[in-house]
Amino acid sequence: MLLTIPLVFAFGLALAFLLRAKTLGFGSAFIAAMFGFYLSATGAAKPINTLMVAAAAALLHLH
Protein backbone atom coordinates (compact mmCIF):
# COMPACT_ATOMS: atom_id res chain seq x y z
CA MET A 1 0.00 0.00 0.00
CA LEU A 2 2.87 2.38 0.70
CA LEU A 3 4.10 1.97 -2.86
CA THR A 4 0.65 2.35 -4.45
CA ILE A 5 0.10 6.05 -3.72
CA PRO A 6 3.47 7.22 -5.14
CA LEU A 7 2.93 5.05 -8.23
CA VAL A 8 -0.52 6.52 -8.80
CA PHE A 9 1.02 9.99 -8.49
CA ALA A 10 3.92 9.13 -10.83
CA PHE A 11 1.68 7.58 -13.48
CA GLY A 12 -0.71 10.52 -13.16
CA LEU A 13 2.15 12.95 -13.75
CA ALA A 14 3.33 10.92 -16.74
CA LEU A 15 -0.18 10.96 -18.19
CA ALA A 16 -0.48 14.72 -17.62
CA PHE A 17 2.90 15.28 -19.29
CA LEU A 18 1.92 13.20 -22.32
CA LEU A 19 -1.33 15.15 -22.62
CA ARG A 20 0.46 18.49 -22.32
CA ALA A 21 3.10 17.47 -24.88
CA LYS A 22 0.26 16.45 -27.22
CA THR A 23 1.78 13.00 -27.70
CA LEU A 24 -1.37 11.47 -26.23
CA GLY A 25 -4.89 12.55 -27.07
CA PHE A 26 -7.68 12.99 -24.54
CA GLY A 27 -9.53 9.95 -25.90
CA SER A 28 -6.47 7.74 -25.48
CA ALA A 29 -5.85 9.11 -22.00
CA PHE A 30 -9.43 8.36 -21.04
CA ILE A 31 -9.12 4.79 -22.37
CA ALA A 32 -5.86 4.31 -20.43
CA ALA A 33 -7.38 5.65 -17.21
CA MET A 34 -10.50 3.52 -17.54
CA PHE A 35 -8.40 0.44 -18.32
CA GLY A 36 -6.39 0.99 -15.13
CA PHE A 37 -9.53 1.63 -13.11
CA TYR A 38 -11.25 -1.54 -14.24
CA LEU A 39 -8.05 -3.59 -14.11
CA SER A 40 -7.74 -2.71 -10.43
CA ALA A 41 -11.09 -4.39 -9.80
CA THR A 42 -9.98 -7.73 -11.27
CA GLY A 43 -7.94 -10.59 -9.90
CA ALA A 44 -4.92 -9.22 -11.75
CA ALA A 45 -4.56 -6.31 -9.33
CA LYS A 46 -2.81 -8.27 -6.57
CA PRO A 47 -0.18 -9.94 -8.82
CA ILE A 48 0.54 -6.62 -10.53
CA ASN A 49 0.97 -4.91 -7.17
CA THR A 50 3.23 -7.75 -5.97
CA LEU A 51 5.32 -7.42 -9.14
CA MET A 52 5.72 -3.66 -8.66
CA VAL A 53 6.73 -4.08 -5.01
CA ALA A 54 9.29 -6.74 -5.98
CA ALA A 55 10.67 -4.51 -8.75
CA ALA A 56 11.00 -1.57 -6.35
CA ALA A 57 12.75 -3.77 -3.80
CA ALA A 58 15.12 -5.08 -6.48
CA LEU A 59 15.96 -1.51 -7.55
CA LEU A 60 16.77 -0.59 -3.96
CA HIS A 61 19.21 -3.47 -3.67
CA LEU A 62 21.18 -2.70 -6.84
CA HIS A 63 24.75 -1.61 -6.30
Where residue 21 falls among pLDDT bands split at 50, 70, 90?
A: very high
Mean pLDDT over 45-63 rounds to 88
Sequence-distant (6+) residues with CB within 8 A of 49 are 3, 4
Q: Which of 1, 29, 34, 31 is nearest to 15 (CA)?
A: 29
pTM across the whole model: 0.63
Domain carrying residue 45 = 4-60
How many domains is the chain built from?
1
